[in-house]
Amino acid sequence: MTADDFWTGSRSAAFGGTTTVVPFAAQHRGMSITEVVADAMERAATEMTVDYGMHLIVTDWEDPAPGEFAAVAATGLAAVKIYLTYDRLKVPGSRAIELMQAARAAGVPVMVHAEDDAIVGWGRDERVAAGRLGADSHAYSHSRGAEWSGVAQAIALAEAAGASLYLAHISTPQAVDLVLAARRRGVDVVAETCPHYLLLDESAYDSPIETAAPFMCSPPLRGPAERAGLMAQLAAGDIAVVSSDHSPYTMDQKLPGGPATAFTESANGLPGVELRLPLLYTAAVADGPLSMGDFVRLVATNPAKICGLYPRKGSLQVGSDADLVIWDETAWTVRGADMHDNVGYTPYEGMELQGKAAIVVAGGELIVDEAGRAIRPGRGEFVARH
């Protein structure tokens, strides 16, 4: 139901200077994970314009998924993702441990959407009962505490299973502190954050929902203290990856009831893959403490290593793919109309950024330059985890 398919999403990535993407094949309850992955791989083969890995979202760890998992993972999945919240997505605790054990046996990391279901559900129900249906209630229910509790749970589950844990889209420095404490006692866990948590502010939710909806994501945007804390952790090397969490929905999907849409009905997620590099560069390098080397490590080297794509990806050396970006440090202004996704808006409209990909080479082929574009569906290849 996302606004982008693999063609428009990978096209947007390519124009932004991202030469490998790792999207999700999502299981809905009752579906065979073998069929889910086969279907996504078939669509990816004809649509992707850049190389790609594949994650699998598991929402139903009942038969036959456990029996199918080893063979599915052996096709080269980068990671398997589970949710701790959302009624239609969450995998309950004991099942999550079993899944993590299977992932450990298959040599695949487990990515977790770590928000505490009880805290999120309580906050949602309280606000709905009070008739407070605005965007601020989304942030109220998906609270900072919901993330801290979810991260603590995910770490405990992974520790019990001996699994390798990847915490997706972390929005608070306190959650990263939990990761660091777990690492000190030997847990195999890393944290990811996203540009929107470094640049956008939760005050966006104080507006009517038709103005606030473009900023609604899970976890939600936070405040200046969180942004400063995350930036310090990026500089210290405490956060492994900055990813897009590209989660594209049109305004029609975000506002199915127009101005009367309740926060519970709005699709959560932001487009982000095309602006991932310029946003991070602006916030963390041009205006922040990171070096160009730190930047490359966060957006390319570490994700390639974690997804099992290194050194074919994430490295410049003989034998690696010639995926190259020539970076132009000039300042420029974001216009949604210039984006190459299928979303129709950008939450960064009018923002002045510094730096963008001027020339993009993928597999030795010039795919984006000032004059011409050789982007086409189906040119990307699957890269299996190894």
Give me the residues that bind Zn ion (CB under 5 A), please.
113
| Residue closer to Zn ion (CB basis): 113 or 246 | 113
Strand order in the sheet with 324-333: 324-333, 352-362, 365-368
Least Å distance, CB 24 to Zn ion, is 9
Least Å distance, CB 330 to Zn ion, is 34
| Residue closer to Zn ion (CB basis): 109 or 355 | 109
- Residue 12: count other Cβ atoms within 10 Å of its Cβ: 27
| Residue closer to Zn ion (CB basis): 170 or 309 | 170
| Residue closer to Zn ion (CB basis): 26 or 359 | 26
| Residue closer to Zn ion (CB basis): 113 or 385 | 113
Least Å distance, CB 113 to Zn ion, is 3
Residue nearest Zn ion (C-beta atom): 113
Least Å distance, CB 144 to Zn ion, is 16
Least Å distance, CB 105 to Zn ion, is 24
| Residue closer to Zn ion (CB basis): 55 or 113 | 113
Least Å distance, CB 291 to Zn ion, is 29
